[in-house]
Amino acid sequence: MLLLEVISGERLAKPERGKMRVHKISNVNKALDFIASKGVKLVSIGAEEIVDGNVKMTLGMIWTIILRFAIQDISVEETSAKEGLLLWCQRKTAPYKNVNIQNFHISWKDGLGFCALIHRHRPELIDYGKLRKDDPLTNLNTAFDVAEKYLDIPKMLDAEDIVGTARPDEKAIMTYVSSFYHAFSGAQKAETAANRICKVLAVNQENEQLMEDYEKLASDLLEWIRRTIPWLENRVAENTMHAMQQKLEDFRDYRRLHKPPKVQEKCQLEINFNTLQTKLRLSNRPAFMPSEGRMVSDINNAWGCLEQAEKGYEEWLLNEIRRLERLDHLAEKFRQKASIHEAWTDGKEAMLRQKDYETATLSEIKALLKKHEAFESDLAAHQDRVEQIAAIAQELNELDYYDSPSVNARCQKICDQWDNLGALTQKRREALERTEKLLETIDQLYLEYAKRAAPFNNWMEGAMEDLQDTFIVHTIEEIQGLSTAHEQFKATLPDADKERLAILGIHNEVSKIVQTYHVNMAGSNPYTIITPQEINGKWDHVRQLVPRRDQALTEEHARQQHNERLRKQFGAQANVIGPWIQTKMEEIGRISIEMHGTLEDQLSHLRQYEKSIVNYKPKIDQLEGDHQLIQEALIFDNKHTNYTMEHIRVGWEQLLTTIARTINEVENQILTRDAKGISQEQMNEFRASFNHFDRDHSGTLGPEEFKACLISLGYDIGNDPQGEAEFARIMSIVDPNRLGVVTFQAFIDFMSRETADTDTADQVMASFKILAGDKNYITVEELRRELPPDQAEYCIARMAPYTGPDAVPGALDYMSFSTALYGESDL
């Protein structure tokens, strides 16, 4: 009856002796009605069983009352009362050794669980380090005595009963433990507040680490670009082919070895930046603004400058190699012609300065005059060679040949000598003509021989020079032209042989006359120094050079055929790879717009697609190898394809970047979906609506398309001024830069922002206030007691001193710190 009065709060009538059972039943019914009014369901328990002393029914009712008023209100992370109480015990005793709470019976037999609960909240009441697991009786009595004395928790259990029972009563343990929960319920609020702060600070620390990583990666990439651009812009040419070819090899290593990792770093940098901005937006933080000069746009601009410098560098290298090749050929040709001319002029000045005509006979004078005429003919024939030498020297100067000074000096010496020869020739002719009147006879036969032998000799020297002349060609057509010219030259050899025999016949006629008329010949032909032996020797030399020229042309023709095979091999592969890259780019564009299935399925599909693209890399490398063979063969043009290696490289890099960006967009959509609690059905509905109104498949919506999409999703946007103002507000959110288009990511962010709940500065501020005990400030000791060490130190380092009228020494301002976390003030 006393228990029922306590439960119901009413004074019950004391039954008289004669009406004892009736009054007892009435009193018990009043108590049961009160219990039922509090939402407690009593199944199969009536007043008669209680009055009759049914122990089982009475104990069941008492446990139901305890469960309703002492345990039912306990809730930890939305669990049931029993599970919540067990979870609370596990979390509070987790740091203590030899304590493992798994239930409400045998886990408490050693008493360490009760002691750990008291020590966790009131460490000054129990010296936990002195407790022993093998002394459960002492542990239990210590916990019960301390709880009764300092925590006002009555001693509901008996230590001997718990130790002596194989499985202590679960309900009794649970009832007694609930008393600890209610006694320490205030500390639970502080723990909840600390958990919220830890969550917020963990997000902030992770974001700061991502910002530091971005800054470092951006700085390293910009520094590499800064070092590389001056190298690519250096247009100082080398003097030799070997040095320029080494420059070309260095550039090839740069494109194949050094640049591709930087392309990946640039792509990863953009992905990291987008991921960071998405995380900041999802955690309601202000957008990340990199330090000056390290924006994504700054990196793209620097990269553009790099590629602009790179674009002209390879072309300049190839042009320089062509120029040096041409220069080497011209220089060798100059030296060859100069040597022939110098050999011809050797001794000519001394001959022209002779005054042998002063003591000569008339016949000798005639001979000297004719000889001089033959020399003039020879001199005129050499005029073309001198002009060729001067023209080659001028071309070497125009092409900036590195050894131009020595060429110019040698050319000037030849020209000066030629002018001097002309002056000396004119002077000697004048002297001979002065004596010609005194001398009348001349040997016409020798003169005819000299006149015909001199041009024939020049023709043979020219033929030998042409047959030994080096040549450079780049196509089969060019070598075929040289071969045709050579065949035409060989066709003239029979006529030349007839001329040779005719000249030799003149000499034989002279010999015949000498023998016939016994002429006393003092020396050789006075009109020429060309002897029949010399003509025959040069003729034999010409005949020997012809097959050598045939062999050289044949070898060059074979080389050009090999080059043509290289062109066709490269062209065949390039004509397959180029369209393949274009097709893959178009397929990625369609995939990014027409995505089906869950985001995870889309991400898996895109990654498999990316893997198939990466597996194509060996064909790109094979094409690079063919391109290297073409460059090593100095092949500059290819009529079999419109694709260059540069086109293939740029297309391949764009393909890898596009698939990586598409994957990143899906990953960010997954982040948004998970963070905002958007279901897959909602995400599919958003995607279907977006694609429906994206009629041009551009991946973006115009303002009118976006408005129609919102209306289709249930937004009430009218055509009145109020509706226009609301739509303008929404556009300022999804299109802050006023570009006039709405991307799918901005559309998803807006839809998730409209429905999801996020942490706010006020929530964090309220949590700090709980930790501070409702004070307007918090102390260092309170932070270190309630928060993990690293996050407590994080707050201490960033919180400003509190300056309010109720400030104490060491007080910290948690309010300004909370607003700074969400960009509402400076941190």
In a domain, 734, yes or no: yes
Q: Are residues 400 and 521 both part of a single domain?
A: yes
* Structure tokens belonging to residue 638: 């290819």
Residue 25 covered by a domain: yes
Q: What is the pLDDT of residue 1?
A: 44
DSSP assignment of 664-717 equals HHHHHHHHHHHHHT--HHHHHHHHHHHHHH-TT-SSEE-HHHHHHHHHHTT---
Q: What are phi and psi of 304, to 5 degrees?
A: -60, -40
592: enclosing H helix or E strand: helix 532-593
Phi and psi (nearest 5°) for 277? -65, -40
Query: If you ran DSSP here, which 8-state letter would residue 13 be given?
Result: P
Query: Could you read off the pLDDT of 16-43 as tens digits, one per residue?
Result: 554 577 777 888 877 777 776 766 666 6
Residues 288, 365, single domain; the answer is: no
- My answer on whether 49 and 185 are in the same domain is yes
Residue 787 burial (CB count, 10 A): 21
Q: What crossing angle do the helices spanning 185-233 and 761-771 adopt, rounded to 10°?
A: 130
Residue 337 belongs to a domain: no
Domain boundary among 668, 700, 718: 668
Three-state DSSP state, 778:
strand
Whole domain around residue 800: which residue ranges?
A: 761-821
Secondary structure (3-state) at 47: helix
Q: Domain boundary at 161, 191, 221, which?
A: 191
Nearest to 556 by CA among 642, 645, 477, 641: 477
Looking at the structure, do residues 390 and 458 belong to the same domain, yes or no? yes
3-state class (DSSP) for residue 250:
helix
CATH number for the domain harbouring residue 52: 1.10.418.10
**Using an 8 Å Cβ cutoff, are 47 and 29 in contact?**
yes
Residue 190: the pLDDT is 64
- Residue 250 and residue 203 share a domain: yes
The reply to whether 286 and 434 lie within a common domain is no
CATH code at position 270: 1.20.58.60
Q: Which residues partner with 743 through β-bridges?
A: 700
Write the secondary structure of 370-382 as one string of H (helix), E (strand) and C (coil). HHHHHHHHHHHHC
* Strand duo 800-801 + 700-701: pairing: unpaired
Q: Among 682, 729, 733, 687, which residue's Cα sits nearest to residue 709?
A: 687
**How many domains would you assign to the chain?**
6
- Does residue 42 sit in helix, strand or coil? coil
How much is the pLDDT for 116? 92
Q: Are 409 and 260 part of one and the same domain?
A: no
* Inter-residue contact 164 to 744 (CB < 8 Å): no
DSSP tag of 640? T
* 8 A C-beta contact, residue 535 and residue 453: yes
| Cβ count near 445 (within 10 Å) | 15
| 302 shares its domain with 425 | no
Do 382 and 464 fall within a single domain?
yes
State the Cα–Cα distance between residues 533 and 540, nearest whole angstrom: 10
pLDDT averaged over consecutive 10-residue blocks of the chain (827 residues)? 44 51 79 71 69 68 60 53 85 89 91 91 89 90 91 87 88 86 71 72 79 81 80 66 68 76 80 80 80 80 80 71 71 82 83 76 74 85 84 79 80 86 85 60 66 88 83 76 83 88 82 59 71 88 86 80 80 87 79 67 82 87 85 78 85 86 79 71 73 76 83 78 83 83 78 62 82 89 87 89 89 88 60
Residues 430, 473, single domain; the answer is yes
Q: How far apart (Å, rounded) are the C-alpha atoms in residues 306 and 257? A: 16
Q: With respect to residue 747, please indicate whether it lies within any of the assigned structural domains.
A: yes
pLDDT 10s digits, 202-251 = 777 877 788 788 788 888 877 887 887 787 666 666 666 666 667 767 76
Q: Is 728 contained in some domain? A: yes
**Within a domain: residue 552?**
no
Query: Do 203 and 183 fall within a single domain?
Result: no
Q: Is 455 within the bounds of a domain?
A: yes
Q: Kindly state the tokens that stand for 329.
A: 């050929």
Does the residue 341 lie in any domain?
Answer: no
**AA letter at 324:** L
Give the integer Cα–Cα distance in Å for 261 and 22. 94
pLDDT computed for residue 4 by the predictor: 44
Supply the CATH number for residue 814's domain.
Answer: 1.10.238.10
Distances (CA, A) of 664 to 40, 744, 760: 55, 13, 27
Residue closest to 660 by CA, chosen among 697, 620, 607: 607
Specify whether 527 is located in the same domain as 562.
Answer: no
What is the per-residue pLDDT for 441? Answer: 36
Domain boundary among 332, 359, 387: 332
Instruction: Report pLDDT for 187.
Output: 59
Cα separation, 653 vs 659, whole angstroms: 10
Identity at 448, one-letter amino acid code: E
